[in-house]
Structure 1
Amino acid sequence: MTPRHPKLAAVNLGYRGMTLEQVHEVAVHGARLDVTQMRRERVRRASSVVERALKRRRKIYGLNTYVGHLRDREILPEDMVDYQYQLLAMHARGIGDPMPVQDVRAMMLVRIVGMSHGGSGAHPDVFDTLIRLLNAGIHPIVPQGGSVGASDLTQMAAVGLVLTGRGEAIYQGGVMPAAAALDRAGIECCQLRPKDGLALISANGMSIGTGALAVVDMERLSRLADEIGCLSLEAIGGNFEPLHAEVTGAKPFEGQLAAGKHMRESLSGSYIEGRREGASVQDPVSFRVMPQVHGAMREYIAFARNAVEIELNSSGDNPMVSLRSDDLISNGNFDPLVLGLSFESVRLALAHVAMLSERRINRLRFHGIPAGRMAAWRLRFPFRPYAGPSVHSASALLAEIKHLANPVTLATTLVNPDAEDHSTLAPQSVTLARTLLHRLQTLLTIEAVMACDVLGDAPELPILGVGSLAVCEAVGNVTTATGEDTSAAVFCEALRKRLFET
């Protein structure tokens, strides 16, 4: 996927921390990255710490010793530089399809931000070359699989190889050897120094970068889930009372307050706004508890946002360069468990939103059929005229979503019993969340179509709220654009992209 035109000409990496929205701008929209002299100076100072540490001849992991189970074996001085290239080659063993370009850009940006804190000890030439690659649009071919969430070693190694002129990259729309891409862009291959290879791979770039993109997408989904749920409430002539500020404020979770407020805004001007009674004294639970369930989703998205922002603007290098003590410190900051667990939690919250949506879809499909008279009604009207996605599709999606919500971080195994005996599977947790998110987008799209179908049966379209009306208009626009003969699958995907990606 080619980055779109940026909303911002450039994103500045300076005194303030990087935001998830800025990651989205650089990764998805292709914004240029500018780095201040303050950040560059910090990288230079950290690199000087590494040089001085080498002269002291103290054993330092990955600098003058090997890594993993060979960590106590020293490297001869004449082999230190060559070993940094070996680190890239031995870890670039990922599997699976190439990551999308926007994910690779996010990963590259995360490593640049991490290096700019000074904890990596990377040489300024490595830092500068990585920035130039990102801004030139040279995107390494990075396999999706292979990381266990204790630094995304395999993915980061694939990026590191391209800096040195090895591996493959996408440049100007074509896949080519990295050396050719660098030559066309006028960028020299990077010459590694001691610590540079480890600095390139010792980062959770995939987990943090894709996590940042996921959070931005989830926050957009949370708003649309409210609006689509409100549209369904209008379609059945439901009750407005459960959305009252007094009701949501009686249990003041921040997420519930935000969801209730947004739903009231979405229904502003609606024919049901302020109405005390609906078609029924009390609507089904899937309609009544929207503020509570959608609020819970917001709570856990906020948890995930906080985890990603802290990881993004921190140092996860091992060993970590300490500018304060002028030394390198062995540590475990490469373990992003909070991030991994935050995406475990958010998948459960998203699944509950999906459960409500699927129940509302079922209610909409059989709207107008009197309770207890289903069999008799079907004799008269076997099927309502309807050409959109079916309730069967919604049910199948919900089954997938529930499966994707299952925990993954506990499935870790021993990689190296003498060294790597715990990992987080954070990248798998994020990947499952993004897959689940896509399924939920499709499920909510089906709900929007069903609600519009029910409203279309009315003799006259009632006055809708401003938020739900925007959803209804999107359905109408895509219906017109795709035409009557379009399959339900093509129509549904076109509408999903219109609602969630534009």
Structure 2
Amino acid sequence: MTILKLNGSDLSIDLIKRFLEEKDSTVEITEDAYARVKSSRQIVENIINDGQTIYGITTGFGLFSDVLISKEKTAQLQTNLIRSHAVGVGNHLNETTALLMMILRLNTMLKGHSGVRVELVEQLKTFINKRIIPVIPEQGSLGASGDLAPLSHMALPLIGEGEVFKDGNIVKTRQVLKELSIEPIELAAKEGLALINGTQAMTAIGTITYIESEKLMEDSLWISSLTLQSLRGIIDAFDEKIHRARGYDEQIYVAKKMKEYLENSQLTTHQGELRVQDAYSLRCIPQVHGASFQTLKYVKEKLEIEMNAANDNPLIFNEREVYSGGNFHGQPIAISMDLLKIGVAEIANISERRIERLVNPDLNDGLPAFLSPEEGLQSGAMILQYMAASLVSENKTLAHPASVDSIPSSGNQEDHVSMGTIGARHARDIVKNVRYVLATELFIALSAVEIRGSDKLSPKTKEKFDEYHQIVDFINQDRKFSDDIKHLADALAFV
């Protein structure tokens, strides 16, 4: 059983992957983190008792930041905040994303700059470990002042309101808490704001999207290796000297992986044997896929900074230093998600071109037209290429950068926002489309290799061939191929 120890500083994508891979994984809070939480909470109590004017503790929010709140109403202010900001609409985030949102929000509180009580971090910990997962609508965040709407829906169940998932169904929170003998928490001063001022929705969506993207980019290499062998491609294009001459580490890595996958294949050729050069979609796999791998490095760095960041407001440092700032602004993640969108979309772009080469009788080196078992009577893979082209075109729309947009809010007090959560959602949708395109290339390549002679495959790709042929049959007759694509896409998914 994986135990994820949270201290506000050491969370990583690899740790999150291990946590999500096991159903019974739990989180624990380190002792030093508890000490920081207690210390920052005492500062909040002193602020209230001294009657100081501090944003969000003794004042209203947004344009109401100049409205003072009496000591007696500071707790009610926080509950009102959660209720009024829970305005999300649209489809619900899946349970994995909602669970990760809670983990990320808990982690930032443990840095000791949020001023919450131990009781609140314990409530979050209990919800995570017992998998009491909030129902969170995915639309409605501007990505600055934090992911206010999504995080408010995340916070409602902590106070016994809203809805949660139970056994795949959506039920009222109070029903589940009663069954588990868990009391709703009553928020104290600063705690409502500490729950919703942050980037945890975009970061959670972005983190899972990154994990899926990383897996897809790795899978794309052995899938394209199957295609290359189906087309009797030229292996010389992956010679290490070519790629070291340019110098990009990721390009060198992709070429190395392609050489490994293709080693001892009887289906690859050398330049001049069948043709002098392959088309770009085969010859330039290291250059194109390598450039997409470059985006992963940047995005991972920014996500891991953000998941360990203090993105609350105000931030509490000591009795004399409680500062209002803008760490809730999602611009770093917004730009990262826009970059990831481009990087992963390109994997589908080049995959679709390889699909065209597999099915087009003018390009596929003697394979049947559209891999049809009876040309004319059966269409074979003809419309599979249409579907892939449709998804690639849709991705071009989704890849439009969200981070270049901004709409003022809160009476123009919040006059620049990131749209980072929109960017993260679009990146997630692109990844889903890319998975379908790669599944389509894989499906067609399996049949093409079988026609060419699967016994001639390289040992490494023969293992993949055997594994995925267990999931789907070849294109041996016309049928509803969408089932085959879905089965392969599900097999390629991480979550």
Q: Tell me which interval the TM-score lies in, with the shorter structure as reference length.
A: over 0.9
Determine if contact 1:84/1:197 at 8 Å carries over to the other structure: yes
Give the corresponding residue for 2:484: 491
How is 1:11-410 mapped onto 2 (pairs within 5 angstroms)? 11-14=4-7, 17-27=10-20, 29-30=22-23, 31-150=25-144, 151-271=146-266, 275-323=270-318, 326-367=320-361, 382=376, 386=380, 390-410=384-404
In structure 2, how many angstroms separate the alpha carbons of the residues matched to 1:370 and 1:464?
Answer: 17
Listed one character per residue, the Cα deviations across residues 47-87 of structure 1 (whole Å, up to 9, x for unaligned) are 11211222332211110000111101100111111111101
Q: CA RMSD in A?
A: 2.6
Provide TM-score, normalisation by structure 2.
0.92
Cα pair distance change 1:406/1:467, threshold 3 Å: farther
Provide TM-score, normalisation by structure 1.
0.91
In structure 2, how many angstroms separate the alpha carbons of the residues matched to 1:297 and 1:321?
Answer: 39
Determine if contact 2:127/2:133 at 8 Å carries over to the other structure: yes
Q: CA deviation at 1:284?
A: 0.4
Q: Secondary structure at the residue paired with 1:457?
A: helix
Listed one character per residue, the Cα deviations across residues 341-380 of structure 1 (whole Å, up to 9, x for unaligned) are 1111121122222221111111110256699xx99xx9x9
Determine if contact 1:27/1:103 at 8 Å carries over to the other structure: no
Give the number of aligned pairs. Answer: 489
Cα pair distance change 1:383/1:356, threshold 3 Å: farther
Identity of aligned residues (%): 25
Determine if contact 2:161/2:173 at 8 Å carries over to the other structure: yes
**One-letter code of the match for 2:223?**
I
Cα pair distance change 1:386/1:416, threshold 3 Å: same
In structure 2, how many angstroms separate the alpha carbons of the residues matched to 1:287 and 1:481?
Answer: 23
Q: Secondary structure at the residue paired with 1:478?
A: coil
Determine if contact 2:380/2:477 at 8 Å carries over to the other structure: no
Cα pair distance change 1:80/1:465, threshold 3 Å: same
Q: CA deviation at 1:101?
A: 0.7
Give the corresponding residue for 2:413: 419
Cα pair distance change 1:77/1:29, threshold 3 Å: same
In structure 2, how many angstroms separate the alpha carbons of the residues matched to 1:278 and 1:112?
Answer: 61
Listed one character per residue, the Cα deviations across residues 20-66 of structure 1 (whole Å, up to 9, x for unaligned) are 13223444644211111111111111111211222332211110000
**One-letter code of the match for 1:212?**
T
Give the corresponding residue for 1:5: none
Listed one character per residue, the Cα deviations across residues 103-141 of structure 1 (whole Å, up to 9, x for unaligned) are 100100110111111121111101110110110111111
Q: Secondary structure at the residue paired with 1:407?
A: coil
Cα pair distance change 1:28/1:200, threshold 3 Å: farther
Q: CA deviation at 1:340?
A: 0.8
Listed one character per residue, the Cα deviations across residues 248-289 of structure 1 (whole Å, up to 9, x for unaligned) are 111121221221222222223322568455521100011111
Moved more, 345-354 or 156-165: 345-354
> 5+ residue gaps in structure 1?
1-7
Listed one character per residue, the Cα deviations across residues 168-205 of structure 1 (whole Å, up to 9, x for unaligned) are 11234443221221222222211211101111111211
> 5+ residue gaps in structure 2?
none
Q: Secondary structure at the residue paired with 1:175?
A: strand
Q: Secondary structure at the residue paired with 1:212?
A: helix
Cα pair distance change 1:306/1:54, threshold 3 Å: same
**One-letter code of the match for 1:475?**
Y
Determine if contact 2:40/2:113 at 8 Å carries over to the other structure: yes
